[in-house]
């Protein structure tokens, strides 16, 4: 049995648009790679920034990739950063954030 109808009131639906940006000080990408890939699979953030990757730039970084994401990086031995960008996001890479002289 249906309840009484409310007159003059309209139902508004809210659409929640979320954009997930996550940051982690990973302290070693190699030792945490499986956890990172699992996190990308389960949480599916739009952007995942990682600091202190602590690896040299390998000749072939393909093993660091994850399906559905592109990887941008600046790896350094005792520092380094990278970002996993979900493929449904349009992103551009700036090679230098410093003003040119």
Per-residue pLDDT of 32-41, as tens digits, reads 999 999 999 9
Enumerate the H helices of 11-82 as residue ranges. Answer: 29-43
What is the reported pLDDT for 7?
61
Domain range annotation of the chain: 21-86
Q: Is the pLDDT of residue 101 over 70?
A: no
- Strand runs labelled E in the chain: 21-25, 47-51, 69-74, 81-86
Residue 84 contacts residue 61 (beta carbons within 8 Å): no
Instruction: Measure CA 53 to chain center.
Output: 15
Per-residue pLDDT of 53-94, as tens digits, reads 999 888 888 999 999 999 999 999 889 999 999 999 988 877
């Amino acid at each position: 049995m249906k309840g009484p109808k409310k007159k003059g009131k309209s139902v508004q639906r809210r659409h929640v648009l979320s954009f997930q940006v996550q940051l982690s000080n990973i302290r070693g990408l190699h030792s945490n790679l499986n956890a990172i890939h699992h996190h990308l699979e389960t949480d599916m953030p739009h952007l995942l920034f990682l600091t202190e990757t602590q690896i040299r730039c390998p000749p072939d970084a393909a093993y660091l990739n994850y399906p559905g994401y592109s990887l941008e990086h600046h790896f350094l031995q005792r520092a380094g950063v990278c970002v996993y960008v979900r493929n449904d996001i349009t992103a551009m890479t700036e090679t230098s954030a410093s003003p040119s002289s």
